[in-house]
Structure 1
Amino acid sequence: MNTPQPARHIRVLYTGGTIGMLQNANGSLAPAAGFEARMRAQLQGQAVAVPAWSFQPMQPLIDSANMAPAYWQQLREAIVAAVDTDGCDALLVLHGTDTLAYSAAAMAFQLLGLPAPVLFTGSMLPAGVPQSDAWENVNGALAMLAAGQPPGVQLYFHGELIAPSRCAKIRSYGRRPFASLQRNGGAAPAQALPVQLSYRQHKEVANVAVLPLVPGFDAALLHAAVGQGAQALVLECYGSGTGPSDNPAFLAALRQATANGVIVVAITQCHEGGVDLDVYEAGSRLRDAGVLSGGGMTREAALGKLHGLLGIGLAPSEIRRLVELDLCGELR
C-alpha cells in the first residue's frame, strides 16, 4: 500500500491563491476563475507526460490569507470524494502560499490512511506574468505524481518535495519560500490509531488558539483565549520550552485552563530544535501545570494536529495521549 505507483487519474483542486490571480477593476490581484483552461493550454505546449487529470475549483476561490478551518473541511471532503467516489489515485492542490504550509499540515492529520498521494503547490507570482514560477511548479508536481509518490501529503515547490510536518514559509519573496525546519523529534510512533482518525471520519471544526510568549507576557491574554471558548492552546515558548515560571498568575492561568479541559501544548519559538519540558525548572513548572510537550512540532504541525484530534469526539485523556505520540512524522 505504501509502494509509490504512477498516477493514472489526477484530481486538481483549485482553491485560488496567487497562482491563478488576475487584476481586478481596481488594479489589484484577486482570485479568478478560468484557471483550468489556462492550465490545459500551457500543458499542450509542454513536453510533460501527464496522465489523465480532472479539474475541480473549490468554492469560494480565496486569497489564502482568508483560509480557515471550515475551508479545510471542504477540502478534506473534496479529496475523499475524489478518491473514494471518483476513483482518482492522486491529487494536486493549488493553494496560495501564505497559508499553504498550514493547510498541508492540517490535511496530513485529517487524511490519515488515505491510499493516495496529495501534493500541495502554488506560486509566488501569478501564472502568465514575467518570471512567474507558476507553471514550473504545476508541471513539476504533475510529473512527480505521474512518476509515483507514496500515499500521504507533501508540498512541492521549485523541484523539491517537503514534508508538511516540518515545513514553514520562511520568505515572502523568491522561488524558494518554503523550507524544512530542523526540529528535534524522537517521539514514539503511535502503534494503533483510533478509528476516528481515519480519513473517512467526519471532522468538526475546532477552536484552537496560538499564543507566543514575550517578555512581560500578561496572563490575561491566556484567560481571554480560554474565555472565548478555545478547546486547545498552542503556547509558543522560549528555547527548549520555558516561560515566565516565576509568575504565579501565569501558572495559575495554565492550571485553570487544563482543569477546564483545555489542551495546552508547548512548542519552541526557535527555528531549530524542540521542546523538552524536563531540562529547566522553568519548563518543568509548565509540565506541572498540565502543559504537554510539543517536541519538535512546528506551529503549523501543532495547529493542524490539534484540529485533527479535537474534531472527532475523542476523550480529553485520549487527545492528551496522542498529542505526544507521532502520527505522521511530526515528532520523529
Structure 2
Amino acid sequence: MSAELLVIHTGGTIGMMPGPAGLEPVQGFERMVRERLGARLGALPTFDFIELEPLIDSAELSPGHWAQLVALIEQHLVQYRGIVILHGTDTLAYTAAALSFMLAGLDRPVILTGSQIPLHNSRNDAEGHLLGALELAARPEIHEVAIYFNGRLLRGNRATKMDAGAMAAFDSPNFPELATLGIDLALNEQLLLPAGTPKFSVATCDADSVAVLRLFPGLSAGQLQAMLGQAHCRALILQCYGVGNAPVSQPGWLETLEAAVAAGKVVVNISQCYRGAVVPSTYATGSALERVGVIAGNDMTLEAAFGKLHWLLAAGHSAAEIAGLMQRSICGEMG
C-alpha cells in the first residue's frame, strides 16, 4: 500500500478557479492541496490522489457518474484504510445517498466533502474540510458513507444541502450527526453502522427512470399523468404536504396513481417538510394514497429516496420487491 488513504477529486467549488464566465473546474488540484496544506499534512494519514477527467461541476452530475465512482472505489478500496471524495456541494448529498446503497456493507469509511469557497481563496472553508475528512477517513470505527462539512460528520443518506450561502451548508434533519470535530473528535459510536462485507453495485442507473414531483396547490391529474406517462419513467417520488397529504379529491388524481401502480410503476410519498416523516394514516388524504398503492417513504430525505430507487431499479428488482424494500431500512436511511 503506497499510502493509507485515497482521495478522489470529482470536481466542485473546492478545486475551482476563476474563468471567463465564473468559477470552473481545473485539473491539477493535488499540487495545490499539498502546497496549501503543507506541513499540516504531516500529522495526518498519507494519501494517494486520483482526479477524474473530465472534472464535473456537480450541477452537471447525472446518475451515470455514480457507477463510475463505484467502479473506481471497487478497484482501489482494499488498498486503503479509507477514501475521501471531493465533490461539488450542489449534488453532494445525492451522491452520498446513492453511494451508501451502491457500496452496501462497507468495512471502512468513505467520506465526501467539498466547500463553499475554493481552496485557492485566501479565506476559505476548504482547508478545514480537507483536513477533517482525511482524519475521519482513517478512523476504524466508521464503516459507511458519510459527509464531513463544517465540523460535523453526517450519515450520507440522511443529509441534505440546506443553505446556498452559509458555511453550515448541510444538515441531517431527522438523524443526529455521527461525529463532531472541534477541539476534540467526538464520535457517536452508538449511531455508527457495523462493519460488513462490501457488496458493490456497479450497475448503471438510467437517468430517466426516476422522476420527482413536488406538489403545489392546483396540481391537476393531467399534470400528474404527464409525468407518469413518460415511457422511461419507472418510479415517481411525490413530495407531498406535511405527513404525506395530497389533493386526492381532484378529479382523476387517485385514478391516475392507481393506474400507474397497476402498470408496474413505483410511486413513493415523502414529505416536503424539512423535518418529520410521512404517516399516511394521520389524515384521510394520506390514507387514500396508501389505498391505491403509493408507498410511504417514512422520514427519508429526497436524496435518499432518489438514490435508493435508482439503486433498486438498476439491480433489476420488480415493482413489488421495490415496494417492500422502500419501506425497510437498508443502511440507516430511515427511522
- Give me the TM-score of the superposition, normalised by structure 2: 0.88
Bigger relative CO (Cα 8 Å, ≥ 6 apart): 1
Per the alignment, residue 12 of structure 2 pairs with 17
AA at the equivalent of 2:13: T
Secondary structure of 2:31's aligned partner = helix
AA at the equivalent of 2:214: P
2:24 corresponds to 1:30: yes
8 Å contact from structure 2 (residues 98, 157) kept in 1: no
Change (3 A) 1:261 1:59: farther
Per the alignment, residue 153 of structure 2 pairs with 161
Per the alignment, residue 306 of structure 1 pairs with 309
2:89 corresponds to 1:135: no
Per the alignment, residue 186 of structure 2 pairs with none
Per the alignment, residue 190 of structure 1 pairs with none
AA at the equivalent of 1:227: G
Sequence identity percentage? 40
Change (3 A) 1:124 1:169: same
2:222 corresponds to 1:220: yes
Q: CA deviation at 1:268?
A: 0.5
Deviates more, 1:128-137 or 1:48-57: 48-57
2:288 corresponds to 1:294: no
8 Å contact from structure 1 (residues 94, 121) kept in 2: yes
8 Å contact from structure 1 (residues 183, 274) kept in 2: no
AA at the equivalent of 2:47: W
Secondary structure of 1:267's aligned partner = strand
Which runs of structure 2 are paired with 1:184-223 in the superposition (5 Å)? 199-206=199-206, 207-223=209-225
2:98 corresponds to 1:106: yes
Distance in 2 (alpha carbons) for counterparts of 1:301 and 1:37: 34
Change (3 A) 1:37 1:293: same
Per the alignment, residue 108 of structure 2 pairs with 116
Q: CA deviation at 1:148?
A: 3.5
Distance in 2 (alpha carbons) for counterparts of 1:215 and 1:149: 47
Per the alignment, residue 247 of structure 1 pairs with 250
Deviations 1:98-156 (A, max 9, x none): 11111101111111012221000000011121321111100111112234441110000
Which runs of structure 2 are paired with 1:272-287 in the superposition (5 Å)? 272-287=275-290
Secondary structure of 1:278's aligned partner = helix
8 Å contact from structure 2 (residues 15, 120) kept in 1: no
Per the alignment, residue 52 of structure 1 pairs with 46
2:64 corresponds to 1:70: yes
8 Å contact from structure 2 (residues 104, 199) kept in 1: yes
2:312 corresponds to 1:320: no
Q: CA deviation at 1:314?
A: 1.6
Distance in 2 (alpha carbons) for counterparts of 1:41 and 1:198: 35
Q: CA deviation at 1:313?
A: 1.2
Secondary structure of 1:61's aligned partner = coil
Change (3 A) 1:47 1:103: closer
Deviations 1:65-94 (A, max 9, x none): 11110011111111111114xx12210000
Distance in 2 (alpha carbons) for counterparts of 1:174 and 1:119: 21
Per the alignment, residue 193 of structure 1 pairs with none
Deviations 1:185-223 (A, max 9, x none): xxxxxxxxxxxx963233231310000111101222222
Distance in 1 (alpha carbons) for counterparts of 2:108 and 2:149: 19
Distance in 1 (alpha carbons) for counterparts of 2:81 and 2:32: 23
8 Å contact from structure 2 (residues 221, 251) kept in 1: no
Number of residue pairs matched by the alignment: 310
Q: CA deviation at 1:183?
A: 6.7
Change (3 A) 1:292 1:264: same
Q: Say what the alpha-carbon RMSD is for the aligned residues.
A: 1.8
AA at the equivalent of 1:22: M
Distance in 1 (alpha carbons) for counterparts of 2:139 and 2:286: 46
Q: CA deviation at 1:233?
A: 0.6
Change (3 A) 1:47 1:309: closer
